Amino acid sequence: MKRFFSLIMMVAAFAVVMSACTNKASDGQNNTTTQKTLVVYYSRSGNTEGIAKQVAQSLGDDIELIEVAEAYPTDYKALEKLAQEETENNVQRPIKPLKHQVKDYDRIIVGTPTWWYKMASPVLTFLSTTDFNGKTVVPFMTNAGWPGTVIKDMAAISGKNGAKVVNAKEFKFNTSNDGSQHGMATPESELTDWINGLRTADNK
Ligand SMILES: Cc1cc2nc3c(=O)[nH]c(=O)nc-3n(C[C@H](O)[C@H](O)[C@H](O)COP(=O)(O)O)c2cc1C
């Protein structure tokens, strides 16, 4: 009888260990987010676009560039002056309607360059005119070393329009005074870690 009970106890212990192993395996599988995600960005010289494309490709997400209704000046000095006027006055530069519908997504990853310590005006327009109720917004920005209040402003406006804001990220680029670009100063590993963080369910 004693031997019989020992056998029962061993079988029970084995079953508990197996069940723990099975649960661990399925936790691992469920660790990838199922959120339907759209990457939306504005970019003039390609830095923000590079990050946007990398995150969209890595996560298999849809992606869309915010297009302005009327093009910015191509002359750098003229653009600088106009951008300063816009950002200082919180101007919402008119943009073309997006081809993707924000309402069809759970999570919107939004990218902007830094212009005069703020987000670029087309991104201000997008965030200010979009209903994010029930959505998660992940703001990211690129800068040349003077990040200003971009992330704080993006989070505040998205939140005001109903978003839960998570995983905000800044990326620094080497940029000369004439606007020419010389690669990312933020370590690549930070970009990879950020993308991997967006892949997991923890961000829900
Ligand atoms: C009009 C203008 C204003 C800028 N103002 C800032 C700024 O205030 N702080 C900063 O760090 N970088 C500033 N930059 C540099 C850009 O933010 C940086 O180069 C960014 O990565 C460009 O992104 P993009 O290539 O996606 O357009 C400015 C660039 C332009 C064109």
Alpha carbons 6 and 18: distance in angstroms, whole number: 18
The pLDDT value recorded for residue 20 is 42
Alpha carbons 43 and 113: distance in angstroms, whole number: 6
Q: How many Å lie between the centroid of ligand 1 and the Cα of residue 96?
A: 22
The pLDDT value recorded for residue 19 is 43
Q: Residues, the chain, total?
A: 204
The pLDDT value recorded for residue 98 is 98
Q: How many Å lie between the centroid of ligand 1 and the Cα of residue 18?
A: 55
pLDDT in tens, the chain (204 residues): 455 555 555 555 555 444 443 433 333 344 567 789 999 999 999 999 999 999 999 999 999 999 999 999 999 999 999 999 999 999 999 999 999 999 999 999 999 999 999 999 999 999 999 999 999 999 999 999 999 999 999 999 999 999 999 999 999 999 888 888 889 999 999 999 999 999 985 444
SS3 for 30? coil
3-state secondary structure 42-54: CCCCCHHHHHHHH
Give the ligand 1 atom nearest the CA of 44: 27
Pick the residue whose CA is nearest to atom 4 on ligand 1: 115
Domain boundaries, the chain: 33-202
Q: Is 73 in the pocket of ligand 1 (CB under 6 A)?
A: no
The pLDDT value recorded for residue 178 is 82
Please state the pTM of the whole predicted model. 0.86
Per CATH, the homologous superfamily of domain 33-202 is Flavodoxin domain (3.40.50.360)
The pLDDT value recorded for residue 175 is 86
Phi-psi category of residue 24: left, alpha or beta, with phi > 0 → left and psi -120 to 50 → alpha: alpha
Dihedrals phi, psi of 43, to nearest 5 degrees: -155, 135
The pLDDT value recorded for residue 179 is 81
- CA-atom Rg of the chain in angstroms: 23
For residue 111, the Cα-to-chain-centroid distance in whole angstroms is: 7
The Cα-based distances of 93 to 14, 25, 77, 122, 129 in angstroms read: 65, 49, 18, 5, 11
Give the ligand 1 atom nearest the CA of 42: 26
